[in-house]
Amino acid sequence: MVPGRGVLRRGWVPSRASRRGLTLIEILVVLSIIAVVTGVAIAGSMQLPSARLRGAATLLTSAIKVAFTRSTATSHDLRLVMDLDSQAIWLEESSAPMLVQSKDKSAAGGADPVTTAEKEALAERDQILQGPPIPKPQFHPVKSSGIGEAHEGVHAKSVGRGVAFRSVQTTHDDAPRTTGRAYLYFWPGGLTERASIQLSVDEDTTLSLLVSPLTGKVTVKAGAVDLVIPTDDDHASERVDTGF
């Protein structure tokens, strides 16, 4: 009886072609495919931190543009609040004009102090200075800033998972701030502060956002770029926006 398709005859021996395994070329092809897939996976995992860092830089740049434009449109003083402990940002607005005091120990500059550290720093300064204290304008969160969701009355936005403020320094700061809160102020007429905002991811990669005072332009540079504050000896005029 002739067996049907798929049925082996008794005593049938497979041919040499059916017994052969993978050839060397086929093995090399499989190994090449595995290598390509593994390489893509590793490259993708290495790009994730950089992508988060670029996303945080974009968020900060957008917030600065919003504050710069809103201050001119509403004729109100604004400030970008950067909480270096919670890694979050939000916008605050004041209806009273404010003059930022350079080299102020408090992060609040010329504004009403908020945190305990700011209040203690201002109290220490007031004991040294002579004359009556100058009234401090109060800032309140901007409810419709478009930055983040409301939380305890503040529309705060996280800078991103794994991303942290490395340091923040503005013109009114005596030194870079690494804890607490840092403020970047905006005034009607298109003015802000010269600033350096450094962001890092996993304490490995760092980006620096450099803010121009006359245009609010943000330039992103790789690595930690410290703030350079012009002195009276500099010949460059502050009326010429050279970038930082």
Per DSSP, the residues of 73-137 read HHT-EEEEEEETTTTEEEEEEESS---PPTT-SSTTTTSPP-SHHHHHHHHHHHHHS-SSPPP--
pTM of the entire predicted model: 0.66
pLDDT tens digit at each of 244 positions of the chain: 445 555 445 555 555 544 555 676 766 666 667 666 655 544 444 455 688 899 999 999 999 999 999 998 989 999 999 999 999 999 999 877 776 655 555 666 666 667 787 777 777 766 665 555 566 778 888 876 667 554 455 668 999 988 999 999 999 888 999 999 999 999 998 899 999 999 998 777 899 999 999 999 999 999 999 998 776 555 444 445 555 5
Cβ contacts of 238 within 8 Å, gap of 6 or more: 213, 214, 230
Cβ contacts of 232 within 8 Å, gap of 6 or more: none
Could you state, in order of their start, the residue ranges of all structural domains in the chain?
Answer: 37-163+171-192
CA atoms within 13 A on the CB side of 205: 16
Pairing of strands 218-222, 205-211: antiparallel
Under 8 Å between Cβ of 230 and 237: no
Helix H segments across the chain? 16-19, 24-74, 116-128
Residue that is written with structure tokens 């450099």 in the block: 210
Rounded to an integer, what is the distance from CA 85 to the centroid of its chain? 13
